[in-house]
Structure 1
């Protein structure tokens, strides 16, 4: 449900349409200002609709899967449509993590299908989506960014992104990283093998201490995920797992904050219920 009252939305929409009409009859800076004001109004009208955002995300996510089974031309069309869905998803819900991650993934697939060079603007668009995801949830798309940095032969940026992914728990399994074709340009670097060695040690320690690894994410009480089924495609599955891990972390934090608030309220109530005999 939108948090923006219907009446307010209607009046905002009318005002935005009026600004467009005025802008068409204006010139220069005045026209630009009117257009910008109209854009802000349109954005306010669609913002805050969580149901719409989820519908758009799942629609685009379905198109990502559909494209995998199609020829080049049809797949490109599906990926482009998916990008539009994820873009509008973020317009309706600017902090929608799935829309941000999958939007970047769709652009990467478009780049691959078009045999784009690493410096192609399609990869720049993917970076924009992944960086947006990083602002929503720290490190959630760090591995995706590492892939693009690797393709661009930027070892320093790739290493930094991989370290962030490891720190935030969004790094794929060691074998998946090693076999990822995006990592081919950095695969022979000494730092890359040292990094994978540190990952292996960390995973071994985690398993020994019975901690959850990315392969063994368990359901947590009171944490409910309303997400599409896990993909069978290994590439899509990698991005899906990143989204799952980030969403679980987000909901855990929200649950922790809720429990702390309830504990504080309970303590205040208990203190207020005490009778002061010395008044």
Structure 2
């Protein structure tokens, strides 16, 4: 690191520390803005250190899986910890796809074990993470978004997201979709059955001169549990 770069980082860090001090003395609205500004400053100091982003992501990934083994308040706290790691990872590396997807997954799983009152806001936060993921790589979290829309009962948005997932190769296989608890509210809808039928037809082997040819998908998907992309 050059002397000039080191000096700039020191100045940024000092400014962030001052913002925290000001936030502690400010009222709620102003304090929140100051804290957010400070966090951005802290993140920029370490933004060019890829190993930090990697560590934050994998730390969050480990916490996400640990949370699945716990129950009640302990699980909630671990999910929240995982989300904080994914969030900070995205502050230091805004295009870190895994953090965007798994952050959304963590919010979805947290919503499942939270009160009915808390669920809508948690699903909204999950949606924001999934939209960020799709902004990083188009279609990468389209199925996750379809799950959010299904839970809200928004059939049109769910269908559009499923079609995007199909187009970009991020759609799970039919059995996994039908077993997905997030899709339980839409699986009996006619539009959903029609979508699966069309997906089934397009995925069927093509025939040329009576010789069957299996068409390879753009992305080969294995079992749902092998991926953390799906909620």
Unpaired stretches in structure 1, ≥5 consecutive residues:
218-233, 243-279
Match of 1:237 among 211, 223, 226: 226
Measure how far apart 1:139 and its partner are. 0.9
Q: Is the 8 A contact 1:173 1:214 kept in 2?
A: no
What is the distance in 2 between the residues matched to 1:172 and 1:119? 24
Q: Output the TM-score relative to the length of structure 2.
A: 0.81
What is the distance in 2 between the residues matched to 1:161 and 1:134? 11
**Does the residue aligned with 2:228 lie in a helix, a strand or coil?**
helix
- Of the two, which has the highest radius of gyration? 1
Q: Is the 8 A contact 2:139 2:168 kept in 1?
A: yes
Q: Output the TM-score relative to the length of structure 1.
A: 0.69
Distance 1:107 1:235, change over 3 A: farther
Residue-by-residue CA offset, 1:22-72 (whole Å, 9 max, x unaligned): 777899xx9999777655433321323321111111111111211222222
What is the root-mean-square deviation of aligned Cα atoms in Å? 3.2
Q: Give the match for residue 209 of structure 2.
A: none
Unpaired stretches in structure 2, ≥5 consecutive residues:
207-211
Residue-by-residue CA offset, 1:217-243 (whole Å, 9 max, x unaligned): 8xxxxxxxxxxxxxxxx6653434x7x
What is the distance in 1 between the residues matched to 2:12 and 2:85? 23
Measure how far apart 1:186 and its partner are. 1.0
What is the distance in 1 between the residues matched to 2:33 and 2:64? 37
Looking at secondary structure, tell me which structure has more helix per residue.
Answer: 1
Q: What does residue range 40-55 of structure 1 map to in structure 2 within 5 Å?
A: 40-55=40-55
Q: Is the 8 A contact 1:150 1:186 kept in 2?
A: yes
Q: Is the 8 A contact 2:87 2:99 kept in 1?
A: yes
What is the total number of aligned residue pairs between the two structures? 222
Distance 1:119 1:76, change over 3 A: closer
Q: Give the match for residue 109 of structure 2.
A: 109
What is the distance in 1 between the residues matched to 2:101 and 2:46? 21
Distance 1:82 1:119, change over 3 A: closer
Q: Is the 8 A contact 1:118 1:152 kept in 2?
A: no
Q: What does residue range 25-174 of structure 1 map to in structure 2 within 5 Å?
A: 38=38, 40-116=40-116, 120-174=120-174
Q: Is the 8 A contact 2:57 2:89 kept in 1?
A: yes
Match of 2:213 among 200, 205, 208: 208
